Amino acid sequence: MHIAEGYLPPLHAAAWTVVAAPFVVHGARAAVRRVREEPDTKLLLGAAGAFTFVLSALKIPSVTGSSSHPTGTGLGTVLFKPPVMALLGTVVLVFQAVLLAHGGLTTLGANAFSMAIAGPWIAYGAYALVRAVGGSLGPAVFAAAFLSDLGTYTITSAQLALAFPDPTSGFLGALVTFASIFSFTQIPLAVAEALLTVLVIRLLVRITPDELRRLGLLRPAGPRETKEVAS
């Protein structure tokens, strides 16, 4: 999902930066507010950021004979809602643009939009939908992580297709070309990422149920119940 440095025409690069910037600024404020109001969530916030950091560094082989990397934004979205991930995801992208020449500063806005903004919002929608129809935590987290990963790469395909429409078949033709590179490769990786995210959530449910209750992932228990669970 990294569009390389200089690979978007200046106008597109600027437009995506303008679109992404408010989300990232809002996300930064949301993260600061959360840490100030509930210092106890700092640990899980760190865990969510670290998870994205690890996963986006791993290039993983896929059945198409290409390799690609997961995004890791599903976990943080489920825990902290999309705005916080806009910040955490962008931090990862800046690291990779500056130290790895992976992605770029001119394409930072576009990449932040796909990985740190659109992906998390898709994840949040999927999570909320599964929970609303009565799905339990596991399937909801799976859907969130799977669709945020796949959705991020689909958005990247659309961004490239907008900038480089096919001379004959136009935007749609180019979208098919880019999506066939990204999306098929990404499907098994998105499944693997989703399974891993479920694994981490299950671990968190076991070790910090109180935190997850406070974040709204588990049903709130009354004061007496909380004590029983904790003891």
Q: Which of residues 110-149 bind other proteins (CB under 8 A)?
A: none
Q: Establish how many alpha carbons lie within 13 A of residue 178's alpha carbon, considering only the half-sphere containing its beta carbon.
A: 24
Question: In the complex with other proteins, which residue's Cβ is closer, 21 or 58?
Answer: 58
Alpha carbons 113 and 110: distance in angstroms, whole number: 5
Q: Smallest distance, Å, CB 98 to other proteins?
A: 7
- State which of residues 25, 100, 128, 172 lies at the interface with other proteins (CB under 8 A): 100
Question: In the complex with other proteins, which residue's Cβ is closer, 68 or 73?
Answer: 68
Question: In the complex with other proteins, which residue's Cβ is closer, 32 or 54?
Answer: 54
Site string for other proteins, 47-86 (x = CB under 8 A): x-xxxxxxxxxxxxxxxxxxxx------------------
Site string for other proteins, 15-54 (x = CB under 8 A): ----------------------------xx-xx-xxxxxx
- Tokens at residue 147, please? 């669709």
E strand map for 41-152: 60-61, 67-68
* Residue 99, burial from CB neighbour count under 10 angstroms (0-12, 13-18, 19+): exposed
Q: Which own/partner contact pairs does 174-181 have at CB distance under 8 Å and 24+ positions apart?
A: 179/153, 179/154, 181/66, 181/157
User: Which residues, numbered 163-222, are part of the site for other proteins (CB under 8 A)?
Assistant: 163-164, 177-178, 181-182, 185-186, 188-189, 191-192, 195-196, 198-199, 202-204, 207-211
Q: How many residues bind other proteins (CB under 8 A)?
A: 75
- Tokens at residue 156, please? 């990247």
CA-nearest of 135, 149, 133 to 195 is 149
Question: In the complex with other proteins, which residue's Cβ is closer, 125 or 177?
Answer: 177
48 in Cβ contact with 80 (< 8 Å): yes
Letter for the amino acid at 162?
L
- Tokens at residue 214, please? 């406070």
3-state secondary structure of 226: helix
Question: In the complex with other proteins, which residue's Cβ is closer, 6 or 216?
Answer: 6
Question: In the complex with other proteins, which residue's Cβ is closer, 16 or 178?
Answer: 178
Packed helices 82-100 and 119-132: angle between N→C axes, nearest 10 degrees: 150
Q: Smallest distance, Å, CB 121 to other proteins?
A: 22
- State which of residues 37, 134, 220, 231 lies at the interface with other proteins (CB under 8 A): 231
- State which of residues 3, 87, 112, 150 lies at the interface with other proteins (CB under 8 A): 3
Question: In the complex with other proteins, which residue's Cβ is closer, 46 or 216?
Answer: 46
Interface with other proteins includes 150 (CB under 8 A)? no
Strands 67-68 and 60-61 come out as antiparallel
